[in-house]
Amino acid sequence: MTDLNRLNTDFGIADQLHFIKGEGGFGFIEINNDHASAKISLYAAQILAFQPKEQAEPVLFLSEQAEYQQDKVIRGGSPVCWPWFSDERKDQGLPSHGLVRKHVWDVISTQAETDGSTTIVLEIKDDEESRKLWPHPFKLQLEVHIAASLSLTLTTYNIGKQAFAMSEALHTYFAVSDVNNIEITGLDGLIYLDKCLDFVPQTQYGNVRFDGEVDRIYQAVKQDVVLCDIKFNRQIRIASHNSNSCVIWNPATSLDDVVGDGYKGFVCIESANVVTDNITVPAGEQHRIKTVYSVESI
C-alpha cells in the first residue's frame, strides 16, 4: 500500500503538487501549476492527464472504462513499454509491452521550477520477480516535466556486468475530435512496417489519414511528427530525441475497455525504438529517449 501521507510530506509541493488516493486505490500525483494541470499514476508511472491552461480539451485520451486493478493495464494516457514492445516476446510466454506497466514505481524527486513548471522523477529497478522474466540488472527512470508542454524522458541504466538489448516506447494516447477527421504530418516518404499486412514494408505517401485500422511502425524518423485536428483547432507537435521509430495505432473497433465508437476519440503516436531499431546498452552505460508534446493553435 502506498503511504500517501509520507509522500506528501517528503515530495508534496504546496499549491502545486500533491499525492491522492485514486481509482482502484492507486496512488496518483495531481499537479496544477502556472502552465497546466496533470495527473500521474504511480502504478505503471503512467501520465493519465495533461491539459495546458489555455486548452479547452485534454491533450491525452483516457478511457471512461479504464480498469484500475493490479495486473491490469490502464487504457489511455502515456504508458511505458519496456524492455520489449507489443507481443514480440509472446513466443516466450512473456507479457505484452514488457515488465513495467503493472508495477508501482518509486518517487525519487519532485521540483517546483523557477518558471512555474514542475518536474517529477519516478524509478523502478529489477527485482527477483523481474529477473525471472528478463535476467538483467537495471534501473529505469521516467522524468516528467509539466509546463505549457509535456516532456517525458525515459532513461535506461544497465547496472549489470553484461550488455543487454531492449525495445522501448512511450505509448501515448492523444485525444482527438474524431480519428476519421485528423491527419498526421512528418512521415511522408518513410518506410513503415504494417502489422495489418503481416509487417510487409510499405511506403507512406502524403499525410497519414484514417479510414480503418492503422497499426504501423515507421522507421528512420528524423523530424517532428504533428497531429492536426481542425475541429479542436489545434495541432500537437511530437518532438522526439534518440527515437528512431514512430508507431501509429488506432484499432477502428471497440475494445474491452473502450466500448462502442470510443476508439474514434484517440490515436496513439508512440516515440519508440522497436523491431529493427532495438537498442543495445553496454554494461555500466545508459540510454535516454526524450519526447516533448507541444500544443499549437491552427
Model pLDDT for residues 1-58, shown as the tens digit of each residue: 579 999 999 999 999 999 999 999 999 999 999 999 999 999 999 999 999 998 999 9
* pLDDT at position 91: 54
How buried is residue 95: exposed, middle or buried, by Cβ count under 10 Å (0-12/13-18/19+)?
middle
Q: Which amino acid is it at 176?
A: V
Entry pTM: 0.96
CATH number of 4-297: 2.70.98.10
What is the secondary structure of 72-92 as a DSSP string? S---BSBPEEBSS-TTTTGGG
Q: What is the pLDDT of residue 96?
A: 77
pLDDT value at residue 88 = 58
Pairwise CA distance, residues 2 & 235, whole Å: 37
- Least confident range from 59-73, 81-95, 124-138, 198-212: namely 81-95
Res 284 pLDDT > 80 = yes
| DSSP element (H, E) containing 289 | strand 286-297
Helices (H), the chain: 4-11, 128-133
Can you tell me the distance from the alpha carbon of 239 to that of 149, in angstroms, rounded to the nearest whole number? 11
Phi then psi for 216, rounded to 5 degrees? -135, 145
Contacts of 206 (CB under 8 A, 6+ apart): 188
Q: What is the DSSP letter of 172?
A: P
Phi, psi of 11 (to 5 degrees): -130, -5
- pLDDT (average), residues 78-92: 79
